[in-house]
Amino acid sequence: MYNNTEKFWDDIFEKEKLKDLSAPFGIEKLDSCIDWLCANTGSIIDYGCGNASMLLRCAYLNVKKGLGIDISCQAVRTAVDYISKKDLLGFSVIQGSLEALKSIKDASFEGAILSNIIDNILPDDALCVLKNIYRILTHGGRVFVKLNDFMDKEKLKESIDFFEKEISDNFFLEKSGLYFHNLSDEKFERWIMEYFKVVEKGRIEFKTFDCFNRFYLLQKL
């Protein structure tokens, strides 16, 4: 199901180096979300971590244990190189998908990052990720979720050239081979309501990419 996704991200991460993560990203809202996640949080799991830039940033904010999981070998290689170069004891990043997440022990992490993954995988898998993150977190555990901006009808029309087909309602296969779920706030909040309370939600502006992402700061019920 994810062969094209894996290839797409391998190609991207093969060319991308990680900058030094000891300094904040310089994107105010993103940095404050990460600060919130790391406050009194000793351990963090990041599913769909990419090169793990966010997870590894947490190593500089007093987080002692970190685990990243990503389907792309190239992304994992970049992260693992950074970990060994900077000697980030307690941090690891592994290649894998849902099966890797399912194998993590119950209540073994205090925090989680789900950044641009929930709306880029099959909806059933997204639900499975959310359920597993709930299972893996300790009581009161914190989650930082980042989602693509929701596209209204007008925006969807403008972006029609990106899409190969609509697989199901608001769930698209892009020409790039990636999946895109145009997930509304209402649907996402319905998905999480029995597992997490929303502490804060809003939007983060990425000026370099001229775009916004939505964010949710969640706490395990």
Ligand X SMILES: C[S@@+](CC[C@H](N)C(=O)[O-])C[C@H]1O[C@@H](n2cnc3c(N)ncnc32)[C@H](O)[C@@H]1O
Per CB under 6 A, residues contacting ligand X are 2, 5, 9, 48-50, 53-54, 69-72, 75, 97, 115-117, 120-121
Structural contact between residues 150 and 184, judged by C-beta atoms closer than 8 angstroms: yes
How many angstroms separate the CA atoms of 185 and 205, rounded?
17
E strands along 33-187, which residues?
Answer: 43-47, 65-70, 91-95, 109-115, 137-148, 163-168, 171-174, 179-181
Shortest CB 192 distance to ligand X, Å:
18
Give the nearer residue to ligand X in terms of CB position, either 83 or 117: 117
Tell me the CA distances in angstroms from 101 to 47, 48, 70, one per residue in order: 8, 10, 10
Give the nearer residue to ligand X in terms of CB position, either 5 or 41: 5
Give the nearer residue to ligand X in terms of CB position, either 6 or 110: 6
Give the nearer residue to ligand X in terms of CB position, either 156 or 178: 178
Shortest CB 181 distance to ligand X, Å:
12
Shortest CB 69 distance to ligand X, Å:
6
Shortest CB 188 distance to ligand X, Å:
16
Backbone angles phi, psi at 135, to 5 degrees: -65, -40
How many angstroms separate the CA atoms of 127 and 123, rounded?
6
